[in-house]
């Protein structure tokens, strides 16, 4: 399907609260721990915050950084920055001060908005960056400040947000997403999920990540529903909140879904109002998906990346029991193809790197022209870096990351395939496979296995299990038991850390 929508249909995101307030001023928009903001209140507060930003010199194209846990104030800040045609730079509050300092310098942020929870981090990372709106100052401005008298026109091509990649394979770089990118991603989401004005969504994923903003939050707000941002993930608290507040939807990573299933409150949790649970990043374990299905909730897996705002594929709501690990089919306004031997090719055939284009796909990385150019082929086809297999009917399975593929004796070994076999064992909670240099084969696999509490690694039994399901060249040479796998803030395994740890030693790897 070709995706060339009319740009005039896409408003700037900063106008969303006011547009919704005209039709539903008294409906709840954002839910916090101590109060709920209606759309009318949100629109008025955003205008006051925008007026204060303008008085501080912020204008179109300026970057305003934000650091802190998920909160109503974070979304208010985003809308206020967008109201002025400026660019939001949300930063991961779990990073080290040096990493925050790097991103502030890289983005050229003119201002930093910080929650009280990030005070120590900001003091260490950005002593010279102007900081405004700690929690107390924010409320003074939002509730009692003067309103914005006028605002610049902000179009679909205007940059809206800089989202730093996770840095799992190198130093982070910022993907520049426009207002049009985020809006068309929202439309894609709404085409594949049932969102109404009565929905009440939890924003669990962090708002410095594209999933937190794009999968649930913006689609719900566009339809006039309400969103409740959670400052941190606690499986028991999330389960309790679903029943107490009548939550209808949220998005998560597989680890979160597993933690909820294993929480003591799982069996007693009231999940009757829940109709949409989206997840991505990796396939959920079959036993976890089955546990949710037994409670009447069908999980919808999605596939995407920051550069696509983030959605590319999603499993239809009705699902397909015969495709438990599929990422579904492309979104409505998304074109897909394959890169084979450096040439764009049809989807069907041998697994290959997926190419994506559409109005939700970004235009490049912040001030990195060479890397931006290298990210595209044939003009506007973005190289995802992921190897996918696509059936004749369009359903897709993620095979692995291009950079994660292990080439052992000339054979391609896809870690995700090996990991999927490892986690079938009851004693294995999770697993990650990385490549290790080998004199004979060039590379071999090293499997880091996270065991369930109280279990021990039976290497002989685990190898027998692998041999029953995989070709011999795919079986890792090394098996290492670990208490936990290293993960970044969005739950993805930090393979770069495991590669650094996986140095061959006498009798194995460390």
Task: Indicate the SS3 state at residue 148.
Answer: coil
pLDDT for 169 equals 43
Average the pLDDT over each of 54-58, 72-76, 313-317, 470-474 and give the range with the smallest value: 470-474
Calculate mean pLDDT across residues 393-415.
Answer: 81
Task: Indicate the SS3 state at residue 343.
Answer: strand
Asked if residue 83 lies in contact with residue 200, where contact means CB atoms within 8 angstroms, the answer is no
End-to-end CA distance of the chain: 49
Torsion sign (Cα): 133, 137, 143, 145 = negative
* Model confidence at 3: pLDDT above 50: no
Segment 42-74, tens digit of pLDDT? 999 999 999 999 999 999 999 999 999 999 999
Torsion sign (Cα): 58, 60, 61, 66 = positive
* Model confidence at 20: pLDDT above 60: yes
pLDDT for 6 equals 46
Calculate mean pLDDT across residues 33-40.
Answer: 94
Segment 164-176, tens digit of pLDDT? 985 444 568 999 9
pLDDT for 29 equals 98
Calculate mean pLDDT across residues 318-341.
Answer: 90
β-pairing verdict for 28-31 and 406-408: unpaired
Over the chain, what is the mean pLDDT?
89
Backbone angles phi, psi at 481, to 5 degrees: -80, 135
pLDDT for 500 equals 80
Measured between alpha carbons, how far is residue 119 from residues 68, 125, 137 in Å?
A: 9, 10, 14
Among residues of the chain, what percentage have pLDDT more than 90? 65
Torsion sign (Cα): 116, 119, 125, 129 = positive
- CA gap 376, 509 in Å, rounded: 37
pLDDT for 131 equals 67
- Give me the domains of the chain, ranges plus CATH numbers: 11-178 (3.40.50.980), 405-509 (3.30.300.30)
Reported confidence tier of residue 510, pLDDT bands at 50, 70, 90: low
pLDDT for 167 equals 44
- CA gap 386, 349 in Å, rounded: 15
pLDDT for 409 equals 73
For residue 297, count other CB atoms closer than 10 A to its CB: 18
pLDDT for 168 equals 40
DSSP state of 270: -
pLDDT for 134 equals 61
Measured between alpha carbons, how far is residue 381 from residues 86, 351, 396, 496 in Å?
A: 27, 18, 18, 27
User: What long-range pairs does 166-173 form, CB within 8 A, spacing at least 24?
Assistant: 166/488, 166/489, 166/490, 166/492, 167/488, 168/488, 168/492, 168/493, 168/494, 168/495, 168/496, 169/403, 169/495, 169/496, 170/496, 171/102, 172/99, 172/102, 172/103, 173/365, 173/366, 173/368, 173/371
Calculate mean pLDDT across residues 78-92.
Answer: 96
Sequence-distant (≥ 6) Cβ neighbours of residue 61 within 8 angstroms: 85, 86, 87, 159
Segment 203-258, tens digit of pLDDT? 999 999 899 999 999 999 999 999 999 999 999 999 999 999 999 999 998 878 98
Sequence-distant (≥ 6) Cβ neighbours of residue 220 within 8 angstroms: 195, 199, 201, 226, 227, 249
pLDDT for 136 equals 63
pLDDT for 132 equals 67
- CA gap 356, 312 in Å, rounded: 8
Asked if residue 182 lies in contact with residue 160, where contact means CB atoms within 8 angstroms, the answer is yes
Calculate mean pLDDT across residues 191-201.
Answer: 94
């Amino acid at each position: 399907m070709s995706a060339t929508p009319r740009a005039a249909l896409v408003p700037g995101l900063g106008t969303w609260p006011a547009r919704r307030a005209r039709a539903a001023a008294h409906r709840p928009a954002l839910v916090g721990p101590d109060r709920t903001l209606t759309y009318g209140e949100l629109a008025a507060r955003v205008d006051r915050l925008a007026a204060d930003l303008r008085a501080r010199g912020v204008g179109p194209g300026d970057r305003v950084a934000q650091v802190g846990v998920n909160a109503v104030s974070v979304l208010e800040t985003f809308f206020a920055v967008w109201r002025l045609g400026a660019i939001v730079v949300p930063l991961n509050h779990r990073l080290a001060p040096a990493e925050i300092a790097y991103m502030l310098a890289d983005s050229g942020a003119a201002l930093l908005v910080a929650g009280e929870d990030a005070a120590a981090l900001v003091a260490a990372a950005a002593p010279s960056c102007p900081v405004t709106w700690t929690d107390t100052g924010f409320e003074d401005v939002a509730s009692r400040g003067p309103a914005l008298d006028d605002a610049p026109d902000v179009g679909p091509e205007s940059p809206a947000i800089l989202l730093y990649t996770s840095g799992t394979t190198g130093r982070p770089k910022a993907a520049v997403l426009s207002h049009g990118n985020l809006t068309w991603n929202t439309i894609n989401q709404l085409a594949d999920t049932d969102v109404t004005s009565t929905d009440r969504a939890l924003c669990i994923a962090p708002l410095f990540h594209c999933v937190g903003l794009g999968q649930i939050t913006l689609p719900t707000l566009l339809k006039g529903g309400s969103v409740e941002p959670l400052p941190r993930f606690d499986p028991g608290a999330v389960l309790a909140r679903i029943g107490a507040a009548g939550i209808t939807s949220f998005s998560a990573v597989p680890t979160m879904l597993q933690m909820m299933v294993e929480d003591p409150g799982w069996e007693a949790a009231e999940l009757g109002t829940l109709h949409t649970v989206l997840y991505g990043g990796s396939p959920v374990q079959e036993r976890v998906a089955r546990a949710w299905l037994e409670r009447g909730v069908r999980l919808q897996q999605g596939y995407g990346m920051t550069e696509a705002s983030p959605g590319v594929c999603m499993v239809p709501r009705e699902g397909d029991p015969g495709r438990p690990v599929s990422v579904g089919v492309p979104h409505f306004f998304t074109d897909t193809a394959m890169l084979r031997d450096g040439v764009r090719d049809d989807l069907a055939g041998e697994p290959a790197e997926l190419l994506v284009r559409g109005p939700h796909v970004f235009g490049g990385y912040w001030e990195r022209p060479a890397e931006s150019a290298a990210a595209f082929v044939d003009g506007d086809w973005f190289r995802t870096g992921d190897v996918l297999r696509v059936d004749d009917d369009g359903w897709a399975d993620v095979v692995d990351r291009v950079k994660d593929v292990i080439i052992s004796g000339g054979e391609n070994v896809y870690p995700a395939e090996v990991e999927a076999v490892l986690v079938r064992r009851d004693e294995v909670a999770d697993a990650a496979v990385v490549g290790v240099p080998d004199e004979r084969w060039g590379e071999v696999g090293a499997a880091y296995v996270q065991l369930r509490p109280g279990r021990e690694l039976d290497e002989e039994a685990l190898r027998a299990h692998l041999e029953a399901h995989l070709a011999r060249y795919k079986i890792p040479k090394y098996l290492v038991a670990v208490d936990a796998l290293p993960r970044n803030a969005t739950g993805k395994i930090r393979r770069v850390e495991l590669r650094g740890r996986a140095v061959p030693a006498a009798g194995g790897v460390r």
